[in-house]
Structure 1
Amino acid sequence: MRRGDWARHPLITTGSPVIAAKQLEAIGMARSTISRRCEPGGTWRMLLPGVVLLQNGEPTDEHKVQAAFLHSGADSILTGVRALERYGLRNLPDTEEVHVLVPANRSVSDSGFVHIERSRRLPKPRVRSGVPTAPVPRAVVDAARRASDKDMVTAMMAESVQRGFCLPRSLADELDETRQGSNLRSTLLPILGGARSVAEADAWHLWQRSGLPGCRWNVKIFDANGTYIAQPDGWCDKLAFAWEIDSLGYHAGDDGFRATLARNARYAAAGIVVVQTLPSRLRSEPAKVVAELRAALDSARLRPRPDIRLG
């Protein structure tokens, strides 16, 4: 077929810029022409073996996802970081990888930026932006298994729960189904306990090691009249004691500063003893932080417990 014929084909003029080489051959392009156009300096790019980008610029993440599905074949499911981006999560590991789940009997291998995972436990996909995508708990666990930064894994798990994408128990259930997930269980423990950030996870671990009285995390508290007071990061209900992990970044802004002052005023009016701790001190000065908590708890024991109730 002459160039004038295939160049006007809808696959070229109106289709996706990511296309399988065999589709180009099917509309009459010679294999040598495809190869020549994909050479360095050519007008196209070969993204993966047999997968062509009909332009010579850098591929976008979306181009890479499309290429990954052409490479992996039918019934593939996007998972990991690229899947979580489609749900709108922001605290994600930095990776160029496109992680794809395929049936266990599929004969296809990793290539370039594509990681292929054969699975006998394929989830029921949800279509996100036109792509079959793993549910959030599966995508989070799959991303966590491929990540090396523990803090980022904690942040990702916390965000998925904090923003209502999944329940902590759903992440735990997914880990139970994953043979390679045992090393992630300690990372999930503070999330199951109520922590909703890396700093709160650090606080959770520090409190657990300290031998201090029981503490609950991110529970709403109200006065005797049912008026909302706050949702402290940590709450020792026995002594009506609140622990706030207050970062400079959030609380130094005008709105954040005003909100913090108003919250502290409500604590004082209700007779609640509160300690505020910078997140950095949880790692740099853990012993001093625990000593401050003990002293504040001792003070709380000396006064009658105010009538504060959990929501």
Structure 2
Amino acid sequence: MNYNTPLSARPVRPRSEQRPHVMTLRQLREHGATAAEVADRIRPGGSWQQLLPGVYLLHPGAPTGEERVHAALLYAGRAPGAEEPGQEAMITGPAALALHGFSSAAPLRTLDRIDVLVPRGRRLRSTGLVQLVRTQALPEPVEIGGVPVAPVPRALADVVARLTDASAVRCLLTEAVRGGHCEPVPVVRELSRCRLLSRPHVVDAVDTLLAEGRALTEGRLYEMVRTHALPDPLWNVDLRLPGGPHLGGVDAYWPDHSVALEIDGGAPHPDDQGVSDSARRREYLERLGITVVHTTPARLRESTAQQAAVIRTALTAAGDRDPAAYVVVLPR
């Protein structure tokens, strides 16, 4: 084998022709390129170009959005589609939302910068098209087309952190829920973890987010009852003992069966103080002979038939139980 074969006779390409034509200097050397040959290729008018320190685009002209993303990850020390211990990084911010399929996200090729989430201790600087976002603890990435991407709640938080317009924040959070990208609770939890709920315009957007999520979840619940031919319940009611204390509200109640359904939100509103007493209230309802079925927005979205079966089982079992205490049902 002739190791002196000119580089131009054996073009350097990524191992897969389907991958973007972006490589690091180390990868180029592994393919037989010398530093002098790389320098010759990236001269003005050359066939390559340097996108970032140590990262090269193997064709002239503008990089594609995918190539920009891969270049950013290579600069951060993580090859897309490969596991490299100790070199953790993932795409976040607007680029992540584009990869997750947000309709409001700008195309990757038009973004001025690509946000890359890295551990706080990484000795690396933002440069060129790469903006580093540091965090104490990295979330588990979502792989999209071989690219490690921050989960939607974290990507949203990194975008919201730079927004000052309330309507922009509200539209973005609304799309997250309405577009089926995630549930409200993980978003609120991440916004809180990133200390963004001290900003009034973010809190206002969270109110809209929770209302939107509530409306979608209730719509799924109504559809489940109709589609699976369950008896019609009383919707969104308060339960109270006759002349006694308020027992709390439930999302649906079947009075003839003494079965209540509650949708677990999973996280308090940012204005709430402490942990709610919902667990104690549910236990009290059970002691009164009322069966409480718990579900979540995710279950109603992903396993509707299973949730309908759980409710039907509870309704069917009502005849085998002792009669429940009489309660007053009031609209909520």
Residues 109 and 116, structure 1, Cα contact 8 Å, conserved in 2: yes
Quote the Cα distance in structure 1 between the aligned partners of 2:111 and 2:66. 14
Q: What is the match of residue 277 of structure 2? A: none
- What is the CA–CA distance in structure 1 between the aligned matches of 2:209 and 2:173, rounded to whole Å? 7
The alpha carbon displacement at 1:195 in A equals 7.9
Question: Which residue of structure 2 aligns with residue 35 of structure 1?
Answer: 39
Q: Which residue of 2 aligns with 1:3?
A: 6
One-letter amino acid matched to 1:191: L
Q: How many residues are matched?
A: 208
What is the deviation of 1:56?
0.8
Q: CA deviation at 1:36?
A: 2.7
**Contact 1:80/1:99, CA 8 A, preserved across alignment:** yes
User: What is the DSSP-based 3-state SS (H/G/I as helix, E as strand, rest coil) of the residue aligned with 1:47?
Assistant: strand
Per-residue CA distance 1:223-255 (angstroms, 9 max, x = gap): xxx9xxxxxxxxxx9xxxxxxxxxxxxxxxxxx
Equivalent residue, structure 1, for 2:60: 56
TM-aligned CA deviation for residue 148 of structure 1? 4.7
2:204 aligned residue: 186
> Measured at CA, do residues 112 and 118 of structure 1 come closer, stay the same or move farther in structure 2, by a change above 3 Å?
same
Q: Is 1:85–2:85 an aligned residue pair?
A: no
Shift of 1:44: 1.0
**Structure 2 contact 141–150 (Cα < 8 Å) conserved:** yes
| Aligned-pair CA distance for 1:218 | 9.6
Q: TM-score, normalised by structure 2?
A: 0.55
Q: 4+ residue runs of structure 1 moved beyond 3 angstroms?
A: 8-16, 147-150, 216-222
Q: Deviation of residue 181 (structure 1)? A: 5.1
- Partner of 2:51 in structure 1? 47
Mapped to 1, the partners of 2:169 and 2:197 lie a distance apart of: 12
1:54-203 to structure 2, matched below 5 A, reads 54-73=58-77, 74-92=87-105, 95-180=111-196, 182-183=198-199, 184-194=202-212
Distance 2:163 2:218 in 1: 30
Assess, with a 3 A threshold, how the Cα gap between structure 1 residues 9 and 43 changes in structure 2: closer, same or farther: closer
8 Å contact 2:184–2:213 — kept in the other structure?
no
Gaps of 5+ in 1: 197-215, 227-236, 238-308
Any idea what the Cα deviations from partners look like across 1:111-167, whole Å, max 9, x if unmatched?
111111221121111111111111111111111213354433221111110122111
Contact residue 6 and residue 29 of structure 1 kept, 8 A: no
Structure 2 alignment gaps of length 5 or more: 78-86, 227-236, 238-330
Residue identity opposite 1:156 in structure 2? L
Q: Secondary structure at the match of 1:155?
A: helix
TM-superposed CA distance for 1:75, in Å, is 1.7
Number of the residue aligned with 2:26: 22
Q: How far apart in 2 are the matches of 1:136 and 1:21?
A: 32
* Greater mean alpha carbon deviation, residues 150-159 or residues 12-21: 12-21
Q: Indicate conservation of the 8 Å contact 1:145/1:181, yes or no.
A: no
Report the Cα offset of residue 39 of structure 1: 2.6
Render the CA deviation track for 1:196-239: whole Å, top value 9, x for unaligned: 9xxxxxxxxxxxxxxxxxxx8996699xxx9xxxxxxxxxx9xx
Q: Is the 1:175–1:182 contact (alpha carbons within 8 Å) kept by the matching residues of 2?
A: no
CA RMSD, Structure 1 to Structure 2 (Å): 3.2
TM-score under structure 1 length normalisation: 0.58
